[in-house]
Amino acid sequence: MRLAYDPSHYRDNTNLKDTIETVARLGYEYVELSPRKDFIWFYEYPKVDRQLIKDLKRYCSDAGVKISSVLPVQQWSSPNEEARQAAVRNWKRCIEITSDLGVDLMNSEFAGDKSRPLESEAAFVKSMEELLPIFEREGIKLNLQSHPNDFIELNIEAIRMIRALDKDWIKLVYSVAHAFYYDDGIGDVEKHLEEAGDLLAHVLIADTFNHRAAFGLRYIINPPDANVTIHQHLNPGEGEVNFEALYRKLREMKFDGIVTNSVFTYPDKPEWSNEVTLKSIKEGLNI
């Protein structure tokens, strides 16, 4: 099992060198390169040149940190063809950067527009037809997660789409913070992991509240029919996810993939947050 840290707590006020050093100081051997403005940002073309790639490799080597995966988020499932083409172009550059870093894994979200699911699915498949040969040529694996407001929000639908792609190097990311979207508000984490089975490769650890609780009035939105989604990335134990069941099921499955601290609610006290979450992960998974 690889225990990784998502350094989103540090993305706005810490440069890349200091971020990697912080990951090591917090007790991690692996870092998940999530979006940040000075590297690969949401929906944008990567702001990375050969020198930055060289520097990042040196930062990691000096700190004793390895990159577990590179995480771009692009609108590769957009029903808008111009946006989809831009996302594919950005993805090609992201894959090239990942290869140059010597990293063999990327993870991402389905994206798209949940109000136009069929069009988004068609756009996603079209994008994958363009990108699959590039992933294979570079020897880079891919892990995918459904996400609130994506064209795929349910865990089982993400699994079905991954199986439809039918590549043994494409697996599932399970984000605990999305548990109440994965099954329309039940949050049955054990069932989600059972559904994933052999596709489960990556688990993101963070807690959240059930947005459907209190008769659907946990969060009162005005106007009531506004098309919004809401969730949190809290320390384990601060929300309503059953972490005892989650950890027990992962132990039963003898999960041996990547587990990432994905809490980023506390940029004002990130070290405290890490202490709480890292303790939970280590005790829960006996590592």
d(CA 263, CA 58): 26
- Whether 213 and 240 have beta carbons less than 8 Å apart is answered as yes
Q: What pLDDT score does 175 carry?
A: 98
Average pLDDT, the chain: 96
Question: What is the tens place of the pLDDT at every residue in 11-59?
Answer: 988 999 999 999 999 999 999 999 999 999 999 999 999 999 999 999 9
Q: What pLDDT score does 220 carry?
A: 85
**Parallel, antiparallel, or unpaired for β 66-70 and 30-33?**
parallel
| Residue ranges in the chain whose pLDDT is less than 70 | none
Q: What pLDDT score does 202 carry?
A: 98
Q: What pLDDT score does 96 carry?
A: 98
Q: What pLDDT score does 107 carry?
A: 98
Q: Nearest to residue 190, comparing CAs of 146, 182, 109?
A: 182
Q: What pLDDT score does 185 carry?
A: 84
Q: What pLDDT score does 216 carry?
A: 80
Q: What pLDDT score does 226 carry?
A: 84
Q: Nearest to residue 243, comparing CAs of 167, 179, 159, 164?
A: 179
Q: Nearest to residue 276, comparing CAs of 287, 255, 261?
A: 261
Q: What pLDDT score does 218 carry?
A: 86
CA trace torsion 108, 113, 115, 118 (10° rounding):
-80
